[in-house]
Amino acid sequence: MMSVKKYTFNVSNMKCGGCVSSVQTALNELDGTEVIDISLEENKAVVQSEKSVQDIVNVLTAIGFPASEE
């Protein structure tokens, strides 16, 4: 079993509540991933996940929100 880690990502292109919702939905659909917080003001997403950083970045990038781990 993989360990759960907490990550903070800088997320590009979030401009409104709909963007935040899209990011949250995509992250919640990743098995073993829980969204802790998404900040539109700071363009950050904090998640707890069993997935790798790259898996999470790939999902966000695929939906138009390029991300990098902080």
Residue ranges of domains in the chain, CATH in brackets:
5-69 (3.30.70.100)
Q: Do the beta carbons of residue 63 and residue 53 sit within 8 Å?
A: no
CA distance 5 to 32: 10
pLDDT at 56: 96
Q: What is the pTM of this model?
A: 0.91
For the segment 30-45, the average pLDDT, to the nearest whole number, is: 96
Is the pLDDT at 54 greater than 90? The verdict is: yes
Query: What are the tens digits of pLDDT across the range 12-35?
Result: 999 999 999 999 999 999 999 999
Where does the pLDDT of residue 1 fall: very low under 50, low under 70, confident under 90, or very high at 90 and above?
Answer: low
List Cβ neighbours of 66 (8 Å cut-off, separation of 6 or more).
Answer: 11, 12, 13, 57, 60
Q: Do the beta carbons of residue 11 and residue 45 sit within 8 Å?
A: yes
Average pLDDT, the chain: 95
